[in-house]
């Protein structure tokens, strides 16, 4: 029963990766939408784009690490 709980918890922790993928998609979609509306301001927002994508991906990686910890520890 304990083994089953570990796998269920790891599967639920993997939903963080789904959220990260959706978040990164929204970040890039919003950037492209803004860049098409105002191309002269797009270059100034590229740094914010990559910082936001990195934070969203970090949350997905944290969820993956938690899933691995639940399975193997």
Nearest to 63 by CA among 5, 10, 6: 10
- Provide the CATH number for the domain around residue 36: 1.20.20.10
Q: Where are the alpha helices (DSSP H) in 1-73?
A: 2-13, 15-37, 39-42, 46-72
Structural domain span for residue 26:
2-72
Output the pTM of the full model: 0.81
Alpha carbon distance 44, 19 (integer Å)? 27
Q: What is the pLDDT of residues 10-62, one digit of tens each?
A: 999 999 999 999 999 999 999 999 999 999 999 999 999 999 999 999 999 99
**Measuring CA to CA, which residue among 3, 1, 52, 64 is closest to residue 23?**
52
């Amino acid at each position: 029963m304990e083994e089953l709980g570990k796998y269920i918890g790891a599967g639920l922790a993997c939903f963080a990766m789904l959220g990260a993928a959706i978040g990164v998609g929204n970040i890039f979609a919003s950037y492209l939408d803004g860049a098409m509306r105002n191309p002269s301001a797009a270059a100034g927002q590229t740094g914010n784009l990559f910082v936001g994508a990195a934070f969203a991906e970090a949350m997905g990686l944290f969820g993956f690490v938690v899933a691995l910890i639940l399975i193997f520890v």
